[in-house]
Structure 1
Amino acid sequence: MEIILKEDIIGLGFKNDIVNVKSGYGRNYLIPQGKGVIASPSAKKILAENLKQQAHKLAALKAAAEEKAAQLNGVVVEVAAKVSVTGQLYGSVGAAQVADELAKLGKEVDRKIITMKDAKKVGDYVALVHFHKEVIVELPVKVVAENAAELQAAADAEAAIKAAADAKKAAANEAEAAEAADEAEALEAIDAPAEA
């Protein structure tokens, strides 16, 4: 089923695009919600005429989108999240958290235009910000441990416990070796007088 979109829908298309969708999705969601209309021949003619008349408005929208995109050049978003000792996040980091961090940096971006695969581990990711159908910005996102000091302390404590256990084991092995040497010496002493 061909639909003319009346607004931007991330993952499907942008306003005034003609897209193919499944009949149920078009009839039960897009058309009743006012997000699209059936792409009949007459609707396509009206769309073409409207696009001709709105060409300068569309150019202005694209210019505004490029201006917003320029504000995000060089911006790296750092999201602090709670992390387990293994580096796994409690939950995940997605578009909503990226939008919140951008707001803290003074860059207001609607979370609905941000797409990002949910981050479930500490590391570097990329979020896409769709300002316009021709203006998409790749935004680097760094997920860091909120409780890094606690994790480091836990790792240090674990390493110290392991080192202490290794030292204790080495001391026990050394004592065992000394005891075996003493035993061998005693046996030699016992055997020596018998030979004389």
Structure 2
Amino acid sequence: MQVILIKDVNNLGGVNELITVKNGYARNFLIPQKLAVEANPGNLKMLEERQKQQKKREEKMLAEINKVVEVLKASPIKIGAKTGTSGKIFGSVTSVQLARAIREEKGYDIDRRRIHILDEVKELGTYKAKIDFGGGKETELEFEVIGE
């Protein structure tokens, strides 16, 4: 029996996926638990419409991500840090500080968990970080640590 999944099901498939399962599994588990619906012509048409809408949302989101990437790459982010006499900073620069600097300088709120600093930042200078936007889209960002 062919069914359309409404929710993600482990070891079976994801949302809006058309799959073939045994009749008993579909009728006794998937459909009563509201995990799937039967793949009749009406539901297939709704699935096609949902996929079109999802594609439009993804295109819009991709355009927005590309705009953010251009703004972030335009100029390096500057992060102020307290330093000792030898030029080493007290502590290190973290993704939290980088996320705050992006919000203050560029106006974009990026979750700190999506930012991965490539090197340990313990001295003044220029460093790189990766930002993962999800869906396989990521960019490399350059930031500069300056003394306060």
Relative to the length of structure 2, the TM-score reads 0.60
Matched, 1:74 2:45: no
1:48 to 17, 26, 29: 17
Which structure shows the higher helix fraction?
A: 1
**1:132 to 1:71, Cα distance in 2 relative to 1, 3 A:** farther
- Identity, % of aligned positions: 20
- Tell me the CA shift for residue 38 of structure 1: 5.4
Given that residues 130 and 140 in structure 2 are in contact (C-alpha distance below 8 angstroms), is that contact kept between their aligned partners in structure 1? yes
Structure ranking higher on relative contact order (CA contacts 8 Å, 6+ apart): 2
1:136 partner SS: strand
Given that residues 78 and 145 in structure 2 are in contact (C-alpha distance below 8 angstroms), is that contact kept between their aligned partners in structure 1? yes
**1:52 to 1:141, Cα distance in 2 relative to 1, 3 A:** same
Unaligned runs of 5+ in 1: 1-36, 147-196
1:69 partner SS: helix
2:89 partner SS: strand
How many Å separate the matches in 2 of 1:101 and 1:55? Answer: 33
How many Å separate the matches in 2 of 1:90 and 1:98? Answer: 16
| Mapping of residues 179-190 of structure 1, within 5 Å | none
Matched, 1:113 2:114: yes
Larger Rg: 1
Relative to the length of structure 1, the TM-score reads 0.47
1:86 partner SS: coil
**1:66 to 1:134, Cα distance in 2 relative to 1, 3 A:** farther
Matched, 1:135 2:104: no
- Residue 39 of structure 1 corresponds to 10
